[in-house]
Amino acid sequence: MTCPTGGRVRPRSPHTDVPLAIGHGATSSQPSTVAAMLRLLDARPGQRVLDVGAGSGWTTALLARLVGETGSVVGVELEPELAADASGRVREGGFSWAQVHTAVPGVLGWPDGAPYDRILVSAMATGWPEELAVQLADGGRLLVPLDGRHVLARRRGARVHRQAAPGWYRFVPLR
């Protein structure tokens, strides 16, 4: 596997549950962490999903697999080089219903595509990301690492109910 910065990285064996460096100081999270996040997010076929911090494009592809071709996935990544590589990987994977965009500096998420049924955030927030919560559809779920915890938010009309899941996690900061 080629690292987005051009260096070689060792492929992750299915038995190695560790994060993988993807360049620009970012990592692709360890598989058990991503599995825990996806279980809480509970993305279903046909849903519209936003993947914030698309990194390598791995979570974007996993979400595309979960929603299937009747759904759609919008990935956003702040590092333009990572976003371009992720976009290529998702395209090469055949997920025509998923796209990765370079995030607009100062804009959290991808408001143009809102509302979303599911929003996955793979970078650590230090305060409640209201800008993302407003992009959530009625009945939707937002999973965000917040101050070390996985916080699952569910929108019911104007109300957003938040609950922290068990466990402590580390991520690169949500900028």
Ligand X SMILES: C[S@@+](CC[C@H](N)C(=O)[O-])C[C@H]1O[C@@H](n2cnc3c(N)ncnc32)[C@H](O)[C@@H]1O
Residues 6+ apart with CB under 8 A from 91: none
Nearest to 37 by CA among 151, 172, 130: 151
Task: Report, in Å, the least distance between residue 137 CB and ligand X.
Answer: 20
Q: Select the residue interacting with ligand X from 4, 47, 49, 59 (CB under 6 A).
A: 59
The one-letter amino acid code at 55 reads G
Q: What is the rounded distance in angstroms from the CA atom of residue 128 to the CA atom of residue 131?
A: 9
| Binding positions for ligand X, 25-44, rule CB under 6 A | 26-29
Using CB under 6 A as the binding rule, whether residue 119 contacts ligand X is answered as no
* Rounded CA separation 103/136 (Å): 18
> Residue 108 CB, nearest distance to ligand X (Å)?
5
Q: How far is the CB of 23 from ligand X (least distance, A)?
A: 9
Instruction: Pick the binder of ligand X from 36, 67, 103, 152 (CB under 6 A).
Output: 103
Q: What residues are paired with 2 via a beta bridge?
A: 8
Tell me, what amino acid is at 45? P
Site for ligand X contains 63 (CB under 6 A):
no
Query: Which of the following is catalytic: 28, 29, 56, 87?
Result: 29
- Binding ligand X (rule: CB under 6 A), the pick from 56, 87, 99, 135 is 56
102 binds ligand X (CB under 6 A): no
Taking the complex as a whole, the smallest distance from the CB of residue 69 to ligand X amounts, in Å, to 20
The answer to whether residue 122 is catalytic is: no
Which residue(s) pair with 21 in the sheet?
27
CA distances from 74 to 7, 18, 128, 141, 161 (A): 27, 26, 21, 15, 24
Active site residues: 29
Residue ranges binding ligand X (CB under 6 A) = 22, 26-29, 52-56, 58-59, 76-79, 82, 103, 108, 122-123, 171-172, 174-175
